Every structure is written in C-alpha cells, then in structure tokens.
Structure 1
Amino acid sequence: MSDDDAPYLLALYEPDIAQNAGAIMRTCACFGVEAAIIEPAGFRIADSRFRRAGMDYLSGIRIASHDSWAKFETWRIESQRRLVLLTTSGETNLWDFAFARGDVILVGRESAGVPKSVSEAADTRVRIPICPPLRSLNVGVAATIAIAEALRQIGQLPQAEAGVSKSAPAL
C-alpha cells in the first residue's frame, strides 16, 4: 500500500520501549496504516529489540521520523490532518468518535503519556473505556484497538481469504 493509499497515520510521541514500538509498527504494516515516530525516542530505530518485535514486517512500512514535536506539528498542520489523541483522560469514548480518512492517531509515551501542550494541540482526545478501577491498557494494545475501530468505520479492515492470510505460515 502506498503512502497515498494509507487511510490513517499512527504517530508515537517519544516512545520509551523499543519492543512496544516495534510491535506497533508491525500492527501498522498488517493493517496498511502509515507510521511516525516523534523524537526523541528512548531507543534507536536500529535497536535489536525494536527490530525483533517488528520482525520482517518493518520492511513493509515506511516509518517517518520527526526530530521533535514542533517539526511534527508543523508537518501535520501543513498536511491538514486532524490529530486524534488516544488518552486515558479523553473526553470522548472511542466507540462514539467518528474517524475521518487521513486522521493522525497519536499515542503517548508508555511512562508519561504526552505533555499538556501536546494534549491541547489535539483536535480531539479519545479514550478506550475499561473496567474500573484499572487505569490503562498497554500503549500497543490501545493503538491496535483504535486503528481497528478507525478502519472498521471506513470499511477498510483487511480481509483474509478463507480466514487465513496467504502469507501466514502453516501450523
């Protein structure tokens, strides 16, 4: 899928954990979603833990890297893309939010989320409801749920033939 065909972009704000980021990139590749990392990250893209979690799926996705939040935000505004922040303090329930093609879905750092200035820059803040008193999902799990819901809304969830992907290994 070319970048122009990707319905959404998933952006990671200063990710801390290489394995989570690699797994998120793998999810993006599997669902045909663009990906971006907003630096500084707590690891290098060449980190073996990042590569191991992303497996050979990383070759199937272009990962844009932005040197800073300011540079990412300039790019986003110039691209006229809406910013949807996934946060535990979101005012809108994920299931009630209407995604639009081209949206940027932003997830925060595993250790600290995003700063107030980043949250305020978002066009909307959405949350995934979970059972109280639990606080949050793993960032990779939350990102996957949001991507799947966004793709479902526009009718672009991938369809496997006969329930099995052609590239899936036989068990």
Structure 2
Amino acid sequence: MNHIVLVHPAIPQNTGNIMRTCVATNTALHIIKPMSFELDDKKMKRAGLDYIKDLDLHVYESYEEFKAKNPGEYHFFTRYSKLCYTDQDYSDSSKEHYLFFGHEHDGIPKEILKENLDRCVRIPMSDKVRSLNLSNCAALTIYEVLRQQDYPSLSKVEVQKGEEFLYEL
C-alpha cells in the first residue's frame, strides 16, 4: 500500500486537497502532530469535499510514534536533496511506501532528514521559486509511485459517467 505522511501541516486547505487525492488514489494519509489547525476545520473540509468519509486517516503525536507503528520504505521530500524523486524505485506494490512531506513553511525537521539522507528526494524546479504547493507535490509524487506500479486498483477509464461517455451522441 502507498501512504502520504504530513509532518506538522499548517494550511488546512492543503491538507483537504491531499485528503481528496488520497481517496482518489487509494492512499492512506498519516498526519504527525503538531498541526496548525483542527481536523474539523471548515476550510480543510471544503477542500476535501465529501470524500473525507472514505479516507484512510491516521494521526500521531510524534515522529517516534509514527516510526514505531509503520515499518516500510520511507521517502522524504525536501528541496535540499540531491536525488530526484523519479530516480527512485517505487514499483514493488507489495511494499509499504511512505511519502513524507513537511510543514509548508519549514519542511520536514532537519534532524529527521539528516537521519535519512539516502531516502531524501527532491522535485526538480527552476531557481526562481523555493518550492511548489504542498498539495501539488503530494499529487504529482503519488502518481509517479502509482505509474511505476501500473496503477493498482485504479480505473483507467471513466467510471462515473461510463467509459463510452465521449463516444456517445
């Protein structure tokens, strides 16, 4: 299974968007406290729409608690890494892949990154910006993981209106 891990999230709308992405991709969401908002924040709920009820959500008091409960393949996303996220192998869908994203302003705490330098990766971008929006990063990286796994348990055709929707008059 695949997992997105938010370390100390600060912006409820980002978390709501990530919740929706997790439901769309059958990805579990893990949140490591502290958070700068409550899970019932109306901005977060608005971004997550009515999909939140289908979310596989886990909340932890600390990184240490998270590690104790979740063995697997950890991937830490940081602009400071020298490794590109697309150069990693996520193809084994029998493994638990955890994609870590940090606080919108400060990222993942440096002490966590330093303990995991070989598992730190970055998203390439120009030198004109410091970073991309957190929910965009989570979406594009989980889809790279899923692409490498050939999109397990996801439909490659339209399921709401039917796969023939465009071809019907």
Q: Output aligned runs, 1:6-85, within 5 Å.
A: 7-76=1-70, 80-85=71-76
Q: 1:144 aligns with which of 131, 139, 151?
A: 139
After superposition, what is the alpha-carbon deviation per residue over 1:29-88, rounded to whole angstroms, capped at 9, x for unaligned? Answer: 001111111011001111111111111111111210001122112222xxx212100111
Q: Following TM superposition, where does structure 1 have runs of at least 4 consecutive aligned residues deviating by more than 4 angstroms?
A: none
Does the 8 Å CA contact 2:22/2:55 hold for their aligned counterparts?
A: yes
Distance 1:120 1:50 in 2: 31
Q: How many angstroms does 1:118 deviate by?
A: 1.4
Q: CA deviation at 1:167?
A: 6.7
Aligned residue for 2:100, secondary structure, equals strand
Matched AA of 1:131:
S
Contact 2:27 2:56 in 1 (8 A): no
Q: What secondary structure is seen at the aligned counterpart in 2 of 1:98?
A: coil
Residue 154 of structure 1 deviates from its aligned partner by 0.9
Alpha-carbon distance in structure 1 between the residues aligned to 2:88 and 2:128? 23
Question: Partner residue of 2:77?
Answer: 86
Cα RMSD for the two superposed structures:
1.8
Structure 2 Cα separation of the partners of residues 72 and 15 of structure 1: 15
Greater gyration radius = 2
Structure 2 unpaired stretches of 5+: none
Q: Counterpart of 2:137 in structure 1: which amino acid?
A: A
Deviating more after overlay: 17-26 vs 113-122: 113-122
After TM superposition, give the deviation of residue 160 of structure 1 in Å: 4.0
* Cα deviation code 1:138-158 (max 9, x no counterpart): 111011111000010011163
What is the aligned partner in structure 2 of residue 4 from structure 1?
Answer: none
Q: Amino acid of the residue matched to residue 155 of structure 2?
A: Q
TM-score normalised according to structure 1 size: 0.85
Distance in 2 (alpha carbons) for counterparts of 1:65 and 1:167:
35
Once residues 167 and 104 of structure 1 are traced to their aligned partners in structure 2, the CA distance between those partners, rounded to angstroms, is 32
